[in-house]
Amino acid sequence: MHYIIPMTVTATVRLQREPFDAAAEAAMLTRGRTDAGAVVTFTGICRGAEAGEPIAALTLEHYPGMAETEIERHVAEATERWPLLGVTVIHRFGRIVPGEDIVLVVTVSSHRQAAFAAAEFLMDYLKTRAPFWKQVEKAGGTTWVDAKATDDAAAERWAAPGRDAAE
């Protein structure tokens, strides 16, 4: 399935090691336009504990080349499903310590429903389909984070009827 991002939509996908400025990214999407009525900004943050155990850091591994393409595909799908004016997705990789930001999704629309839904759709897909893997650093060593069934269920509710989940 191929989606094309309309030229009227400002879409940005970035993978980076460095931190990002969520407020500046949101401001950049709405600056100079008067048709935007809603901006949803979601930031995923590294927690300091997992299952009650303190963690020192998360290290995010990704599949360069595929990660960008996969996120862009879902951004394009979001622009087709909702009347968006702008989308920005930034996903960090490398070592991230508790309190630092991991991921940013910003969606802009004329009305809030589309902005909320598209942001949630993108996050659910990032969790389950974007080729990133989290490794947790604890006092006792490192372990890979297991995928959560609840994340799979959250992503599945967006699946269009008849669409192959592996495509």
Partner 1 sequence: MIIKLRYFAWVRERVGKPEEDIEVPPGVATVAQLMVWLASRGEEYAHAFANPKVIRAAIDRTHVRPDTAIGNAGEIAFFPPMTGG
Q: What residues line the site for partner 1 (CB under 8 A)? A: 44, 60-63, 65-67, 69-70, 91, 102-103, 123, 126-135, 144-147, 151, 166-167
> Is the CB of 13 or the CB of 102 nearer to partner 1?
102
* Least Å from the CB of residue 91 to partner 1: 7
Q: Shortest gap between Cβ of 92 and partner 1 (angstroms)?
A: 10
- Alpha-carbon gap, residue 71 to 150, rounded angstroms: 20
Mapping DSSP to helix (H, G, I), strand (E, B) and coil, where does residue 152 land? helix
- Please state the length of the chain: 167
Residue nearer to partner 1 on the CB measure, 18 or 167: 167
Q: Nearer Cβ to partner 1, position 70 or 77?
A: 70
State whether residue 75 is helix, strand or coil.
Answer: helix
Q: Judged by CB, which is closer to partner 1: 11, or 60?
A: 60
Q: According to DSSP H, which parts of 51-167 are helical?
A: 66-81, 112-129, 149-156
The DSSP bridge pattern shows strands 141-144 and 53-54 to be: unpaired
- 31, 110 contact by CB (below 8 A): no
CA–CA distance from 99 to each of 27, 91, 130, 145, 151 (Å)? 22, 15, 22, 18, 22
CB of 154 to partner 1, least distance (A): 10
Tokens of 126: 């990032």
Contact 13, 77 (CB under 8 A): no
